[in-house]
Amino acid sequence: MSVNYISKVGVGVPEDDITYNNLTEYGKSIVKDIISDYELEVDEEDLNGWFSENVGEYDIFDILGLQVNTGNYFTGEEGYRGVDVNLNNPEPAKEEFKKVVNLEPKIFNGVLVY
């Protein structure tokens, strides 16, 4: 077994901070589309719980466009989650992130171990 790692730089927030309730209406509509596509029955009141329990099962972060992440897949350690950034002009990346998540992002860097 080998351990691979890659350095990551992005704009985002700690992964644990991203919940269904913190998504924009656009982000919530994407999650509802996933539920509909898989013909799942989820009570409207339980969407936040369903999101946190199934975010990995349905690759929800990737579908939301939050594809840059740090952490360690072997230990389950989660780091930051966000979008790619051009360090010469981070504003477009911040706007892209805020299109789906109602949290103020910051530039992060770290390592993804996989």
Q: What is the pLDDT of residues 53-75, one digit of tens each?
A: 999 999 999 999 999 999 998 89
SS3 annotation, 39-83: CCCCCHHHHHHHHHHHCCCCCHHHHCCCCEEEEECCCCEEEEEEE
* Regions of the chain with pLDDT less than 50: none
